[in-house]
Structure 1
Amino acid sequence: MYSHIEVTDDAQDKFIRGTGAWLIRRSGHASEVERAAKLGAYGSAGIELDPGEFRGMTLADLARECLERRGVDARRMQRSELFSRALNLRTGYQTSSDFALVLENALHKLLLGAYALTADTWKRFCRQGTVKDFRASGRYRTGSFGVLDDVGESGEIKNKAIPDGEKVEISIGTKGNIISISRVALINDDMGVFQDLATKFGRAAALTIEEHVYRELRKNSGLGPTQPDGNPFFHASRSNINATSSGLSVAGINADRVVMAQQKDPSGNEFIDLRPAVLVIPIGLGGDARVINDAQYDTTANTFQKPNSVRGLFRDIVDTPRLEGTRRYLFADPNIAAAIEVAFLEESGSEPRLDMRKGFEVDGISWRVVLDYGVAFIDHRAAVTNAGA
């Protein structure tokens, strides 16, 4: 016989936090989780990784503790039965066992930590937005009135037509996989499973977006994805290509800058006068690009010291192995005018979501990792490309 142990909400929260902290400590990734917390991966509250009284517990100890806290006598259980009972025990309105929640708590933090720390570059030249659902969402750019008309001697003031605007659409989809922890791994107290699964899937989620952005940029021989008019994003009809291909140089970059500045608003009445802020290039051009951007004098002027007319033009230079050849891209500051937007489902946020269930395909427990997002090229005026030489 045994008596039921009442577990309060406060005690339950403390148990989940403490045991989760200990599993993270045991995984060997506590320092990464702490670094991710400083980047805001876990919200403004941060994260607490002090396991307290739960320090030193094995997975079997945790499973036994979960059962006994719910009034189940687990003292004589074999390890196989222990984990099976702990994973399947539900109390009252709970949809998951305490033990499954402990594992999920640790797994989720490791997943988000790896996601936050993965080095990605798309955030440096793309805008991050949200959409409410999976239907196509509009992004609008309005025209302008141009200048005011003269008022004649009679004092008549003419009506001004409301200028037309532009609309582009962005839609999101879902990417995901299932990860599983087998009963064998639990019985063997294999903490490496958290390292191998959680951190790798967190990194995979982040790299999914990174690769998606560059895959779109590489389409049509580097001119970007096909737009509704049947032409690539970078096209002569959009005036966002420097048709005079040139190598990476002060003169070439200055010519690219002029092309961007000459773009007009959708109504054609007003120069937008944008300036490039981010240069995106293949990895092999990164060194030369930084020299040009920082040099006091024109690096190609050999006869005399000619001032560098594009010195400091770029606040950021993104050189990546995901691009090849000599083509370069100049982007305006995405906070001012974004050529590309990565949108996330509003209710899910910009992080991967973790859903849990008892394993069917495997003898253990499974989690589904999904990420809801979309990539759209939304404003051709905010970027210029040059094929290079």
Structure 2
Amino acid sequence: MRLSSAEDVAPIGQRIADGTLSGVSIGYRVAGWATRREAGQRIKSATRVHLTEVTLTSNPADPNAGVRQAKEGGMPKDVQEQQDDRAALIARVRAAHNLPEEWATRMAEAEDELTDDEIRADGRETALAARATRPQVQIRTAAPSSEDPAVIRDRQVDALSARMMGTAPTDAARPFMNLGLHDLARDVLVRAGQSVATLGREEMLTRAMHTTSDFAELLTGSGNRVLANAYQQAQSPLKQLARQRTAADFRPLSTLKLGEFSGLQKVTEAGEIKSITTGEAKEAYSLETFGGIFSLSRKAIINDDLGAFARWGEMMGRAAAETETAQLLGLLLANAGAGVTMDDGKTLFHADHGNVAAAPGPLDKDGLSAARLALRSQKGLDNKTPVNVVPKFLLVSPELETAAEQLLASIAPATTDDVQPIRLTLLVEPRLTGPAWFVFGDPATAPVLEYAYLSSAQGPQLSSRDGWETLGREFRVVLDFGAGVTDHRGAYRNAGA
């Protein structure tokens, strides 16, 4: 690169001479590519580029990209400096491409004939040519064994969990579907480089569990799949009424309820804008830890009894879902059905909250109409501003399911042009009993119930270790969960009749 002799360029030349402007950033387009395979991947390398833009800068993207030699004045270098720079470049290129000593000797002898870029290009081309002529060692193995061990383990987890749950495996997991626990233990040991030719079934399983982590992770991973599947299937409809959040720790979670603004004030002639106020109230709850332990016996492992493992996983998944439901349902049924006591000292469903039927009545049109009116009439913390909660869910016990379906069907529109008086989604909670029924608004806009998980462990978590008190494998399920009531305005209760 040659600097202009114009006066406005002279300060740049002086900065280069002073060494304060020595970095270079470039723009380029690739004029040649080379392709090779390495570790099972196809890699493309640029072998020739054309510069399209060069910028001098004090902070280049590559700290090694800088002004290395000047011509025609600027930053003159003596012959020894130039030779040292060239020798350092040759050494860097040789080390980067693992080239032989003879290549470095050839480059040093041709230093007056080659530019720095040509030395770099020659190094790349020599390395590519050496790889192309290097003899390839062919290793024949089972197809999945030549892949990433983590990928193989995931496919085995898919196959093992599919067998336990009776579901269809993925295409990638299908080759492992007929493998039992001892087959999987053999595969784990072989991939770890251990000889299994003289091992019996029990010794092979014992060694796989105690000398490698892959087999233990395989059991834990497939157990987690079974646990999660059972947990999801056992979810309570109460969760549709609640808002979810996460917590960083076990300290109390405060839910701040902001009252409605008192309204915008008219701006005075002088342009003064007055402050507006809002009321505040809060509710709080904390996460709690729930857990259980079960063991997969040595006998079950040796007998390849996946049914026992699956049954334990399903039971723990349902137990976790039941624990969450009990926490949420307890908030509604506390205090003889009046709900949990809130921050204002009153129960969730209270006459002062305007969300309980004054006279218990049956589930009918009149009752639903009264519930809708009560929710629409809710006021903010200032007891003046309408909240206008829109009813969305009807929650009943199994005893009222048929009556609720008939009632909602009777008020459904005959045609799309008809106006439906009340639009409600029916939720049936099997743990509810009696004639009481509830109406809830949308938890996104009028939250009443809220539940939270620990941010690092959302849902039940399964871990395992070698059995200590019993021979086999011990599994532990832990659930960090908490639930609370955030407000009373989005719910209505009728004790029924």
Q: Same fold (TM over 0.5)?
A: yes
1:247 pairs, out of 359, 362, 371, with 362
- Whole-angstrom distance in 1 between the partners of 2:246 and 2:385: 29
SS at match of 1:380: coil
- Say whether 1:383 aligns with 2:496: no
Q: Paired residue for 2:294?
A: 179
SS of residue paired to 2:190: helix
**Rounded Cα–Cα distance in structure 2 between residues aligned with 1:286 and 1:309:** 24
Counterpart of 1:252, as a letter, is G
Q: State the distance in 2 between where 1:355 and 1:245 align.
A: 49
Match of 1:278 among 379, 393, 397: 393
**1:338 corresponds to which residue?**
447
Task: Pick one of 252, 255, 260 that aligns with 1:139.
Answer: 255
Q: Does 1:327 align with 2:436?
A: yes
CA offsets, 1:112-151, max 9 Å, x none? 1222222521222111222221111221221223344567
Answer yes or no: is the 8 Å Cα contact 2:397–2:434 preserved in 1: yes
With the length of structure 1 as denominator, give the TM-score of the two structures: 0.82
Answer yes or no: is the 8 Å Cα contact 2:165–2:226 preserved in 1: no
Q: How much has 1:9 moved relative to structure 2? A: 10
Contact 1:131 1:346 in 2 (8 A): yes
Is 1:54 paired with 2:54? no
Paired with 1:66 and 1:271, the residues of 2 have a C-alpha distance of 65
Question: What's the CA shift for 1:52?
Answer: 4.6
Instruction: Give the corresponding residue for 2:166.
Output: 29
Q: Given the alignment of the two structures, is residue 17 of structure 1 paired with residue 132 of structure 2, yes or no? A: no
TM-score normalised per structure 2: 0.65
Name the structure 1 match of 2:222: 106
CA deviation after TM superposition for structure 1 residue 215, in Å:
2.7
**Equivalent of residue 378 in structure 2, options 258, 263, 282:** 263
SS of the aligned residue for 1:66 comes to helix
Alignment partner, residue 207 of structure 2: 85
Structure 1: distance between partners of 2:152 and 2:294: 24
Alpha-carbon offset, residue 280 of structure 1: 0.9
Bigger RCO of structures 1 and 2 (CA < 8 A, at least 6 apart):
1
> 2:9: which partner in 1?
none
**Deviation (angstroms), 1:332:** 0.5
Task: Report deviation, 1:180.
Answer: 1.7
The corresponding residue for 2:234 is: 118
Q: Which of residues 330, 342, 365 is equivalent to 1:227?
A: 342
Residue 270 of structure 1 deviates from its aligned partner by 0.7
Q: 1:284·1:319 contact (CA, 8 Å) conserved in 2?
A: no
Q: How far did residue 221 of structure 1 move?
A: 1.4
Whole-angstrom distance in 1 between the partners of 2:389 and 2:165: 47
Give the deviation of 1:196 after TM superposition. Answer: 0.9
Q: CA deviation at 1:334?
A: 0.9
Cα distance in structure 1, aligned partners of 2:386 and 2:246: 29
Question: Map of 1:297-376 to 2, 5 A cutoff?
Answer: 311-314=421-424, 316-349=425-458, 351-376=459-484
Counterpart residue type for residue 205 of structure 2: F
Question: Which amino acid in 2 is paired with 1:111?
Answer: L
Counterpart AA for 1:20: V
Q: Distance in 1 between the 2:209 and 2:200 partners?
A: 14
| In 2: Cα distance, 1:111 partner to 1:160 partner | 54
Classify the secondary structure of the residue corresponding to 2:148. helix
Q: How does 1:138-217 map to 2 (within 5 A)?
A: 138-148=254-264, 159-217=274-332
Equivalences, count:
351
Larger radius of gyration: 2
Flag the 1:156–1:107 CA change in 2: closer, same or farther, 3 A: closer
Larger mean Cα displacement after TM superposition, 53-62 or 257-266: 53-62
Aligned counterparts of 1:221 and 1:324: Cα–Cα separation in 2: 13
2:412–2:420 CA contact under 8 A, matched in 1: no
Distance 2:343 2:443 in 1: 22
CA distance, structure 2, for counterparts of residue 50 and residue 110 of structure 1: 19
Q: Which residue is equivalent to 1:93?
A: none
Contact 2:411 2:420 in 1 (8 A): no
**Change in CA separation of 1:52 and 1:319 when aligned onto 2, cut-off 3 Å:** closer
Structure 1, residues 77-100: CA drift from partner, whole Å, max 9, x if none? 23322222111114xxxxxx2211
* Alignment check: 8 A CA contact 2:283 2:342 kept: no
Change in 2 beyond 3 A, CA 1:150/1:66: closer
1:308-333 alpha-carbon deviations (Å, 9 max, x no partner) = 9973331x111223112222111101
Cα deviation for residue 296 of structure 1 reads 4.2
Stretch of structure 1 that moved more, 239-248 or 177-186? 239-248
Q: Give 1:176 deviation, angstroms.
A: 1.4
Is residue 218 from structure 1 mapped to residue 333 from structure 2 by the alignment?
yes
Between the aligned partners of 1:49 and 1:195, the Cα distance in structure 2 is 22
Task: Kindly provide the CA deviation profile for residues 7-50 of structure 1, in whole angstroms up to 9, marking residues without a partner as x.
Answer: 9995311321232233234325224xx7xxxxxxxxxxxxx463
The alpha-carbon deviation at position 193 of structure 1 amounts to 1.9
SS at match of 1:102: helix
What secondary structure sits across from 1:373 in the alignment? strand
**Ranges in structure 1 where 5+ consecutive residues have no aligned partner:** 35-47, 91-96, 299-307
Q: Partner of 1:231: helix, strand, or coil?
A: coil
SS in 1 for 2:188: helix
TM-superposed CA distance for 1:297, in Å, is 8.9
In the alignment, what sits opposite 1:63?
Answer: 185
What is the alpha-carbon distance in structure 2 between the residues aligned to residue 285 and residue 26 of structure 1?
39
The answer to whether the Cα contact below 8 Å between 1:328 and 1:386 also exists between their aligned partners in 2 is yes
Say if 1:24 and 1:365 are closer, same or farther in 2 by CA, change over 3 A. same
Q: Note closer, same or farther for the CA distance 1:180–1:144 as it changes in structure 2 (3 Å cut).
A: same
Given residue 245 of structure 1, which amino acid in structure 2 is its aligned partner?
Answer: P
Superimposed CA distance per residue, residues 142-175 of structure 1 (whole angstroms, 9 cap, x where no aligned partner): 12233445678x8796844522212222311111
Q: Which amino acid in the other structure matches residue 313 of structure 1?
A: R
